Amino acid sequence: MLEDRVDKPLEEQTQPSSAPEGSSRPKKGRAPTKEELKKELEETMQERDKLKEEVEEARSSYAALLDEASRIKADFYNYRQRAEREIKRERQRGAEDILIQLLPVLDNLERALMHLGELDDSPMAKGISMIYKQLLQSLNEAGLQPIPTVGQRFDPALHEAVGVVVTDDAERDGEILEEIERGFTFGGKVLRTAKVKVARYFAKP
């Protein structure tokens, strides 16, 4: 009746009677049909598959970035190792060049001391001796080491035979008897071989 409609609230009078057009959701106030449930399930499955694809793509991108970062890290480590070795080699070469140039100075000081042997008490002899010892100590601290000679067995990697002394003692064959010029090593590398005289055994007739 008209009175009943007038007494109802305005919201109830204007309430829509159905869901918006095109929606797959079931209408309010009734159970969804099989077709609606099937369509809603398909939409949900499509959304799930799309999310799974996005997750797989994200995982692949992460793995690729991680692999690239690992390669870059390994390349940088190898480069740093090579650079350090190269720097070390260059320093070694530079030190060797300087030491090779200083060896004749050391030889001349030794010869001067030998010639001044009779003047050991003179100020000149004492000055040269002091300079020689100081220079030799500094070079030894830098890594320069003399090659042992007299009494040692001849080693072609360390010694250069510039003379032979005949001996009838077979046990002394190859023994270094005299040092002509001192040899040196630096950092385990031979800078200059020692010039020596070596015993050579010959049996008596």
- Confidence at residue 122, expressed as pLDDT on a 0 to 100 scale: 78
Residue 183 DSSP code: -
- Whether residue 175 lies inside any domain: the answer is yes
- Confidence at residue 111, expressed as pLDDT on a 0 to 100 scale: 86
- Residue 10 pLDDT level (bands cut at 50, 70, 90): very low
**Rounded to an integer, what distance in angstroms lies between the CA atom of residue 164 and that of residue 93?**
34
- Confidence at residue 25, expressed as pLDDT on a 0 to 100 scale: 53
The H-assigned helical ranges of the chain are 2-7, 10-14, 34-115, 123-142
Tens digits of residue pLDDT in 19-77: 444 445 555 567 878 888 888 888 888 899 899 889 988 988 898 898 889 999 999 99
- Confidence at residue 17, expressed as pLDDT on a 0 to 100 scale: 47
Domain containing 166 equals: 146-205
- Whether residue 152 lies inside any domain: the answer is yes
- Whether residue 27 lies inside any domain: the answer is no
Phi/psi zone of residue 144: left (φ > 0), alpha (ψ -120 to 50 degrees), beta?
A: beta
- CATH number of the domain where residue 189 is located: 2.30.22.10
- Confidence at residue 6, expressed as pLDDT on a 0 to 100 scale: 45
Tens digits of residue pLDDT in 84-138: 999 988 988 888 999 999 999 999 988 888 887 766 677 888 888 889 899 989 9
**Rounded to an integer, what distance in angstroms lies between the CA atom of residue 201 and that of residue 205?**
12
**Average pLDDT estimate for 141-168:** 93
Q: Kindly tell me the burial class for residue 167, based on how many C-beta atoms sit within 10 Å of its own C-beta (0-12, 13-18, 19 or more).
A: middle
- Residue 204 pLDDT level (bands cut at 50, 70, 90): confident
- Whether residue 133 lies inside any domain: the answer is no
**Rounded to an integer, what distance in angstroms lies between the CA atom of residue 92 and that of residue 141?**
15
Residue 111 DSSP code: H
Q: Kindly tell me the burial class for residue 172, based on how many C-beta atoms sit within 10 Å of its own C-beta (0-12, 13-18, 19 or more).
A: middle
- Whether residue 193 lies inside any domain: the answer is yes
- Confidence at residue 5, expressed as pLDDT on a 0 to 100 scale: 47
What is the pTM (predicted TM-score) of this model?
0.58
Domain count, the chain: 1
- Whether residue 79 lies inside any domain: the answer is no
Residue 61 DSSP code: H
Kindly tell me if the per-residue pLDDT of 152 is higher than 90: yes
Helix (H, G, I), strand (E, B) or coil at 187: coil
**Rounded to an integer, what distance in angstroms lies between the CA atom of residue 36 and that of residue 43?**
11
- Whether residue 87 lies inside any domain: the answer is no
- Whether residue 197 lies inside any domain: the answer is yes
Residue 80 in tokens: 């740093």
Q: Kindly tell me the burial class for residue 196, based on how many C-beta atoms sit within 10 Å of its own C-beta (0-12, 13-18, 19 or more).
A: buried
- Confidence at residue 151, expressed as pLDDT on a 0 to 100 scale: 92
Helix (H, G, I), strand (E, B) or coil at 145: strand
